[in-house]
Structure 1
Amino acid sequence: MENIGTKLLNECVLNDIKICAGVNLHLPIVAQPFYSYMLSGKKTIESRFSINKCSPYLKVKDKDIMFIKDSGKPVTAYSIIENVKFFSKDNDLNLDILKQKYSKEICAFDDVFWEDRIEKKYVSLMWITKPITIPPFNIDKKDKLGWIDYNLKYPNVVILISGKIGSGKTYWAEKISKMFNCKRNSFSDYLKLLCLKQNLEINRLNLQKVGQTVIHNNFEDFMEYTILNNFINDNILVVDGLRHKKCIDYFKNIVRKVIHINVNTSEEFRKNNIILRDGQYCVSQEKFETERQSEELINDCDYTISEKTNECDLYNFINNAIKYKTNNLQMNIFEK
């Protein structure tokens, strides 16, 4: 399920769909003929009826983003939910009234539609904008759920991993994400999407160039994508590839707890790592603004990792930091 959430979030970036915390992503399977009615703009209310309290009942709100998928086919469009109403048999559900008031907008023109739903106890009505078509994309969906929700919200704890190029940030980020069973994001994930969007080859040079542009021109969208792409553990998120002080400040303003870990390995270690990864070491890679600012982050971290770092010590530090650290007070009580 996490992969589908990330896929939908990626498509938001590729199709310039604005995302922010509190706006949720939804993926309904819309059968024919309602799928065609919806895409044409004829169907302006999406309706769901159920016996149990299941999605989208009480899980949808206005301004949410709804991707649209026909059964067995790719996702081809999205719509914005403008208004919602929920009904239940414990409260005010009356199918005859719903039929009278909303049949046209639902495109439920025959009595069979309503007769098939006479035993349902919960109803969700969602007013939607006319769908906007997008390049089709497939979803690896193997379950039979007719509606999936993905909540976009900030985690309680963000563990930031900074360091110079080739220092081992990804290695340690993956270690930490396994330690705490949480998702690992990289700042480069967003940059790779932008390279795809601009038809650029995904390589180190292009990522650095796009990264410089993003920091100056598209910073907020960049940060929101990185922090909201978290569908495994909504409490803790690991983010690696940190190179700017302003990124730390952004996280501290919106997340309850930020733990900054700097990977500070030797020049020899880094050069060997770069050669092993890229096939060669190029001095020009370290001259980009994004790389120059990495050095400034060493004095701003809560914990420093070197080649000699003990994993148990690192785990104990992070575990204690999750319990006790605040964003306004650096944890000097812990030895770096």
Structure 2
Amino acid sequence: MQLSPQLWQQIIAATQSQPTWHERLSRWYHTQSNPTIHLVILREPYLSRILSGQKRIESRFAHDRRPPFGRVAVGDILLLKGAGGPLAGLALATEVISRPLSAGEIHEIRRAYEHDLAIADPDFWSAHATARYVTLVWIDDVWPLPPLPLPRRDRRGWVIVQR
């Protein structure tokens, strides 16, 4: 997925009061160097929980090796977008685990990370009990953006942004 130059300019302009993010995004946009940028689609209340700092780990459970499995790394930039809504924030990946799941491991993940995952849905764990792969992304340096429209035509929940 590619973002328009106009949207990039809006995103970069929205970070002018936060020098670290402004420099990080400007450098990426103008030099097209690493890190990888990911568009992360989030439903509520998870988007708000990330923006408030309550949710510190984003999880993706899957039956196949779709992104972000094996595609997100420490230092990558996450563009946070509400499902059906605008871009709402930025975050930095500070730790990542991507691995296959064996039977019963989802319970270990729940025990170890439940607080930082901030899962609100009581049926979440049973709905993902048959997942074969997991990606856990620790997020930090969260920066809210003013709502920036980003129309999308697909239903993927995680998309790697191309240059």
TM-score by length of 2: 0.82
1:71 matched to which residue of 2?
A: 83
- Tell whether the 8 Å contact from 1:69 to 1:77 is kept in structure 2 after alignment: yes
Residues 1:13 and 2:12 aligned together: yes
C-alpha RMSD of matched pairs (Å): 2.2
Q: Extract unaligned runs of 5+ from structure 2.
A: 16-21
**Distance apart, 1:119 and its partner CA:** 1.2
| % same residue | 25
Quick one: which of 105, 108, 113 aligns to 1:102?
A: 113
CA distance in 1, matches of 2:146, 2:107: 39
Alignment of 1:138-149 (within 5 A): 138-149=149-160
Q: Report the AA paired with residue 10 of structure 1.
A: Q
Greater share of residues in strand: 2
Quick one: which of 30, 35, 44 aligns to 1:23?
A: 35
Greater share of residues in helix: 1
Q: Extract unaligned runs of 5+ from structure 1.
A: 152-229, 231-336
1:121 matched to which residue of 2?
A: 132
1:209 matched to which residue of 2?
A: none
Residues 1:57 and 2:64 aligned together: no
Partner secondary structure for residue 159 of structure 2: strand
Quick one: which of 14, 19, 35 aligns to 2:47?
A: 35
Q: Which one has the largest radius of gyration?
A: 1
**Distance apart, 1:70 and its partner CA:** 1.0
Deviates further, 4-13 or 122-131:
4-13
Alignment of 1:154-165 (within 5 A): none
Partner secondary structure for residue 55 of structure 1: coil
| Alignment CA distance shift 1:7-1:124 (3 Å) | farther
Partner secondary structure for residue 131 of structure 1: strand
| Alignment CA distance shift 1:76-1:49 (3 Å) | same
| Alignment CA distance shift 1:124-1:96 (3 Å) | same
Q: Report the AA paired with residue 114 of structure 1.
A: W
- Tell whether the 8 Å contact from 2:38 to 2:159 is kept in structure 1 after alignment: yes
Larger RCO, structures 1/2 (Cα 8 Å, 6+ apart): 2
- Describe the superposition over 1:215-254 as per-residue Cα deviations: whole angstroms up to 9, x where unpaired: xxxxxxxxxxxxxxx4xxxxxxxxxxxxxxxxxxxxxxxx
TM-score by length of 1: 0.42
- Describe the superposition over 1:18-54 as per-residue Cα deviations: whole angstroms up to 9, x where unpaired: 1441201111110011111111100000111111100
